[in-house]
Amino acid sequence: MGKIGLFGGTFDPPHRGHIELASTVCRRFALDKIIFIPAGNPPHKQDLKKTDKSHRYQMVQLATKDHPQFEVSDFDIKNEKPNYSYITIDHFKKEFPDDEIFFIIGADSLKNFPFWVNYKKLATMCKYIVVPRPGVPECDYFKNFSPDDPKPQTLFLEDFSYDLSSTELRKKLAQGKAQDCDLPDGVKDYIQKNNLYPKESV
């Protein structure tokens, strides 16, 4: 039996924090591989402007190319409808029936877990690796769960932080202030070639 991590996100753009996080999770929890799943049409970001999904998919491919333990899935990208987490997890459980599935989420997502679609089913589908988030103390992790709610089986990533978000990075790119160290090899060139974050986007 293998151990597979699922790492979903908008990845707009993917940055070194994503790669460092995935590498740390892979090492600390002895995962065999991590599958990056760029979001196609995330339900919780319907009203937000997003870079075209084909560009985001290509950037994640570039960001992960030097890491043999990482794969990139187009499962969500090729789906035109909003894709909920329980659908994604169910898909990969069927694709890897003999492996153990771990879903990587932020502490903010764990806090809001009871508001996810079909969350009671989600709580029983796999294990969740929880990444700390600024402003979300441990005492709030299960704050929104009622006493009768099933709680997901959680593993906590300790002592990890990265002080750059994709939102901040988009602003830095649009202002011409992004550093080479912010982006994995190849991603910055792809962004410049395709003019993905122009100044007028700030």
CATH of residue 105: 3.40.50.620
**Residue 140 belongs to a domain:** yes
Greater model confidence, 184 or 202: 184
Whether residue 180 lies inside any domain: the answer is no
Q: Which of 168, 88, 129 is nearest to 3 (CA)?
A: 129
- Identify whether 110 is part of a domain: yes
Residue 192 included in any domain: no
Is 61 part of a structural domain of the chain?
yes
The reported pTM is 0.93
Burial, 56: exposed, middle or buried (Cβ in 10 Å; 0-12, 13-18, 19+)? buried
Cα separation, 106 vs 131, in Å, equals 5
* Residue 18 tokens, joined: 């994503």
Domain assignment present for residue 161? The answer is yes
What is the distance between the alpha carbons of residues 97 and 82, in angstroms, rounded to a whole number?
A: 24
Which helix (H) or strand (E) segment is 110 a member of? Answer: helix 107-111
- Asked whether residue 177 carries a pLDDT value surpassing 90, the answer given is no
Residue 182 lies in a domain: no
Which pair of tokens denotes residue 42?
């995330």
Q: Tens digits of per-residue pLDDT, 4-46? A: 999 999 999 999 999 999 999 999 999 999 999 999 876 655 5
* Number of compact structural domains in the chain: 1
What is the pLDDT averaged over residues 98-113?
97
What is the domain range of residue 122? 3-165
In a domain, 54, yes or no: yes
Nearest Cα neighbor of 185 from 25, 57, 16, 36 is 16
pLDDT value at 175 more than 60: yes
